[in-house]
Structure 1
Amino acid sequence: MALDYFAPGVYVEEVDKGSRPIEGISLSVAGFIGFTEDVRGDAELFKPMLVTSWDQYREYYAAPGSDGYTDFDAYLPFAVNGWFVNGGGRCWVTSIGTKLPGSEPPAPEATALRIGTSNNKPTLMFNIKPADASASQLALPSTSERIKVIVQESTPKPLPDDAPADAEPPLNTGEFFNVIVVQGGQELERYEHVTMNPQVAPEVADYVVTAIADSEYVTIADISVSGQPLSRRPANGAYEIAPPPYISSIDRFARDLLGQRDDRTGIQGMFEIDETAMIACPDLMRVYEAGLIDIDQVHGVMEMMLSMCENSFPGPAFRMAVIDPPPIKPSKGMEAVPPDRQKPQDVAQWLSMFNRRSMYGALYYPWIKVANPRKGGKPSYVPPCGHVMGLWCRTDQSRGIFKAPANDTPRGVLGLAYETNMREQEMLNPIGINCIRNFASYNRGFKVWGARTLVEPDNIQWRYISVRRLISYIEKSIEIGTQWVVFEPNDTDLWARVTRTVSNFLEGLWRNGALFGGASSEAFYVKCDATLNTHETMMMGRLYIEVGICPVRPAEFVIFRVSQWSPNS
């Protein structure tokens, strides 16, 4: 705004008088931590990577041409696929390895690159030359940094300079090729004029295995069966050599899993991604089933996930952790058992043993049965966290975050590890264990039949997942949408603008059905006046705004009272 006017004329000034609207944030972004088949492309081991579709997941975490799953039945691929199948959108994925900790390293032939002829017959096998045994490989190189072998067209060796003038050059039979070893776009080695003929004359060409035998980067083997050199010639193209899989030691695995916030690695690194609002670690159950960690270590990881969800300083806590019940029978020891042998009383006893309550946690029982592509489509039992989180996201999009994510069908589910009945759920539901049930007798299929947090049973105001997430949604949206207020003049004009901004946001939620009340005055209030903001508080640079809201709560128990009625009585 101009302070002085000297020349006559018309002056147009732009003045910001209106309130700035608050835009609601998204709490429908998930974070998954677990094992993958590979780590490729821009993805890095231990670090979160944004994934927006199952095809993109396979691009980053599956071997070329693979289905995305693993030979050791890691649960992360099932969880991520379940997320997308059930309506999930964006998610972040952190790979903590491509083999179970302490596994035997695969034979070099198992990870070797096999190149075929133009007719897809095997011809050459390449592998990365083993590094120094004392060097520890703590990360898999990305695709751009991996060693590649390029096969391209070539000719026989040219005649030497001192060859007779009437000498004829060797006949080009089409069997000759070049092999180039590259990494990250940089050429490391080049072998020209090579052939698949071991008896080739040295002045004509070099046998490819002999020529590359002294390579500093790759090893080579001739795996062709029979035929002329031309029929055994490898097809032209660029071929990527996969590095040996990362296998952590059992002692190191706990550090790999937990990670570090500063380095954005492991579980702690996932909490550095600002948009992740729901967190799960399905392969915590996989390592427990394999006997690589005990139940106390499982509890330690779960405790850390819940504690980090509760602590989101400096802003309000808004994340929730979906944990899976470990398949154990506490009455018969702490060893893992098949998921279909865990009964409702077992999971109830385990939860009392875990004894950790939090409004930022949710637990679902039982495990679910899904198709396993690595077993020809035969079913396997997997933790339900990924499918349930996808259902949360689907409910957010179709109904709103205020709708309880329950009484809906989890997609991709073929069966349940245990079919809970109503009497058994009467034991589980009051202590915060949400059941997935089979309502075949009602012809309704499988339904998520619970919507409670893991809060203390007597803390009824935070009992429901939808209420907890709605309040987090409002708090986080207000925090982000009112950043413009900072350093504004702290006067009654600012008070009115802030009140109007927050009220408009809450009124929109009330009109959408997120807040309870016949009128907006019954659904919420916003207070910012001199009773809250005294001279002393303003001297300290503070502005206080009080907001009260009345969230809608799910109708968990529907009671019809039916009686006989006579119109004449």
Structure 2
Amino acid sequence: MPQYLAPGVYVEEVPSAIKPIAGVGTNTAGFVGVVADTVTMPLLPGRSGLKADGTTPEPTDFATVAPAGVAQLVDGWETFKTLFGDIQSGNSTLAHAVYGFFNNGGARCWITRVAPDAEGDAGIDPDAGADPDAGTVAATSAEQLDARLIAALDTFTARDEIALVAIPGAVSDAVQGAILDHCENPYLQDRFAILDGRRTTELTKEKIQGGTRDSSYGAIYYPWIDVGAKDAAGNPVYQPPSGHLAGVYARVDTERGVHKAPANEVIRGALGLETLVGKQGQAGLNPHGINVIRKFDGNITVWGARTMAGASQAEWRYISSRRVFNFLRESIDEGTRWAVYEPNAPELWSKIRRNLGAFLNTVWASGALLGNKPEDAFYVHCDETLNPAAVRDAGQLVVEIGVALVRPAEFVVFRISQWSGGIQ
């Protein structure tokens, strides 16, 4: 307490008991993909690309491909081209995916490049043909490529802003399982996996999801999409949808909020589908958590909103439910770190209740929680009942939070009957 000696008026700044909790971002993606060391890179600004003689190429006038195994921040398509080159055979799967991300509303992503091995593997390459097990790997060893893709995920661990993770075109059980492991990491649990379904015409979970395990931290999409790429014969080269879907997630988060399911949304830049699935076909896939992309009135539309959670995790059936919880967990984690090592007493408990209450009230007002008034939508308990002497002696502060989530209207049912008019 300050000591006053001279008579007069003194004005003191008193810290507020409310320490605002800011909602974390949910729309930054992390992509891993194969980019050849030999991709053609663009000219640096102000360079001609030629030596003084005007005819000999000057290599130093061109950008250098980003190093492999290092996460790079990319904030637009031009930045991608400067780091990894324009769309070409040495980077086509990743480049189409990232272009689709930005085209569909994405603004920021981290990208880690995996280099081909010394034998010259081409990576995940849908240009290689219509193999039903594609992302076909034109490599000496698909397992070796998988191992490099999986290792690259570790570069995202320290990038706290990443909330969406995808390896476009990677459909092996090993790689998809590693993406789910990454998102489920107990030290993270703030990100969500977007997976590509296998290329197949058999509409079953076993064929589309393969042996990839169930998880509430990921969603899988089928079929692959036509973005206008052609092979030498002029046939469509279908692309994995995960990059475009990450952009759809980002767009919906920005325009509506993380509580809005990223579904019933048009995929910008998608011209067609490798397999057309109708209502009857989707009826056999939707209950198993396979999100179908369908064509309505010429628009390629996301027509599924489910995670890969199994029957034992019914409360996490919907993508929006899992992602809202991820958002709440990370926001509360970052917004209450000030409380660590504070005296564990009623004054602290009261501050915790006020701060969390103010934050959750904002979340409720955004439409993410169900209830006509805040007390119907959430509660925060932090008192001596939850924090008796034994808990405090262990150095712990226990806070109990309950929230009522808004879930998507997946099945809109209208009951219509004949009515003769008059009084009911």
- In the superposition, the TM-score normalised over structure 2's length comes to 0.84
- Contact 1:33/1:283, CA 8 A, preserved across alignment: no
1:74 counterpart = 2:92: yes
1:279 counterpart = 2:165: yes
Query: SS state of the match for residue 348, structure 2?
Result: helix
Distance 1:272 1:42, change over 3 A: farther
For 1:420-439, list aligned pairs within 5 A: 420-439=277-296
Q: Which residue of 2 aligns with 1:103?
A: 120
Q: Look up the equivalent residue of 2:167 and give its one-letter code.
A: C
How big is the shift at 1:43? 3.0
Larger radius of gyration: 1
- Deviation per residue, 1:66-100 (Å, 9 max, x gap): xx122256311010000000000100111112x57
Find 2:156's aligned residue among 262, 267, 270: 270
Query: SS state of the match for residue 306, structure 1?
Result: helix
Q: Which runs of 5+ in 1 are unaligned?
A: 63-67, 106-246, 260-265, 286-297, 328-341
Distance 1:484 1:35, change over 3 A: same
Q: Which residue of 2 aligns with 1:115?
A: none
How big is the shift at 1:407? 0.4
Find 1:477's aligned residue among 311, 331, 335: 331
For 1:273-312, list aligned pairs within 5 A: 273-285=159-171, 298-312=172-186
Find 2:148's aligned residue among 256, 260, 266: 256
- Contact 1:435/1:448, CA 8 A, preserved across alignment: yes
Find 1:557's aligned residue among 408, 411, 420: 411
What is the alpha-carbon distance in structure 2 between the residues aligned to residue 422 and residue 100 of structure 1? Answer: 44
Distance 1:369 1:475, change over 3 A: same
What is the alpha-carbon distance in structure 2 between the residues aligned to residue 43 and residue 53 of structure 1? Answer: 15
- Deviation per residue, 1:496-548 (Å, 9 max, x gap): 11111111111111111110011111100011111111122222222111110
For 1:71-470, list aligned pairs within 5 A: 71=89, 74-97=92-115, 99=116, 102-103=119-120, 250=141, 252-259=144-151, 266-285=152-171, 298-313=172-187, 317-327=189-199, 342-345=200-203, 347-350=204-207, 353-354=210-211, 356-372=213-229, 379-439=236-296, 443=297, 445-470=299-324
- Contact 2:34/2:91, CA 8 A, preserved across alignment: no
Distance 1:546 1:274, change over 3 A: same
Percent of matched pairs sharing the same residue: 39
Find 1:529's aligned residue among 358, 383, 402: 383
What is the alpha-carbon distance in structure 1 between the residues aligned to residue 377 and residue 23 of structure 2? Answer: 18
- Deviation per residue, 1:286-330 (Å, 9 max, x gap): xxxxxxxxxxxx2111111111211131x5x12111111222xxx
How big is the shift at 1:355? 5.2
Distance 1:410 1:475, change over 3 A: same
- Contact 2:370/2:405, CA 8 A, preserved across alignment: yes
Q: Which moved more, 1:501-510 or 1:29-38?
A: 29-38
Q: Which residue of 1 aligns with 2:68?
A: 45
How big is the shift at 1:10? 3.6
How big is the shift at 1:252? 4.7
What is the alpha-carbon distance in structure 1 between the residues aligned to residue 190 and residue 233 of structure 2? Answer: 40
State the superposition RMSD in angstroms. 2.5
Q: Look up the equivalent residue of 1:320 and give its one-letter code.
A: F
Q: Look up the equivalent residue of 2:27 and give its one-letter code.
A: S
- Contact 1:402/1:470, CA 8 A, preserved across alignment: yes
What is the alpha-carbon distance in structure 1 between the residues aligned to residue 228 and residue 102 of structure 2? Answer: 15
- Contact 1:312/1:318, CA 8 A, preserved across alignment: no
Distance 1:429 1:371, change over 3 A: same
- Contact 2:35/2:113, CA 8 A, preserved across alignment: yes
- Deviation per residue, 1:411-453 (Å, 9 max, x gap): 00010001100000000000000000011xxx36221000100
What is the alpha-carbon distance in structure 2 between the residues aligned to residue 457 and residue 372 of structure 1? Answer: 38
1:60 counterpart = 2:83: yes
What is the alpha-carbon distance in structure 2 between the residues aligned to residue 412 and residue 457 of structure 1? Answer: 34
How big is the shift at 1:374? 8.1
Q: Which runs of 5+ in 2 are unaligned?
A: 42-62, 123-137
Q: Which residue of 1 aligns with 2:372?
A: 518
1:538 counterpart = 2:392: yes
- In the superposition, the TM-score normalised over structure 1's length comes to 0.63
Q: Look up the equivalent residue of 1:33 and give its one-letter code.
A: V
- Contact 2:198/2:208, CA 8 A, preserved across alignment: no
- Contact 2:190/2:327, CA 8 A, preserved across alignment: yes
- Contact 2:196/2:221, CA 8 A, preserved across alignment: yes
Find 1:490's aligned residue among 335, 341, 344: 344
What is the alpha-carbon distance in structure 1 between the residues aligned to residue 10 and residue 314 of structure 2? Answer: 60
Query: SS state of the match for residue 277, structure 1?
Result: strand
How big is the shift at 1:6? 4.1
Query: SS state of the match for residue 381, structure 1?
Result: coil
- Contact 2:103/2:247, CA 8 A, preserved across alignment: yes
How big is the shift at 1:353? 4.6
How big is the shift at 1:492? 1.5
Query: SS state of the match for residue 384, structure 2?
Result: coil
Query: SS state of the match for residue 190, structure 2?
Result: coil
Q: Look up the equivalent residue of 1:29 and give its one-letter code.
A: T
Q: Look up the equivalent residue of 2:98 and give its one-letter code.
A: V
Distance 1:283 1:94, change over 3 A: farther
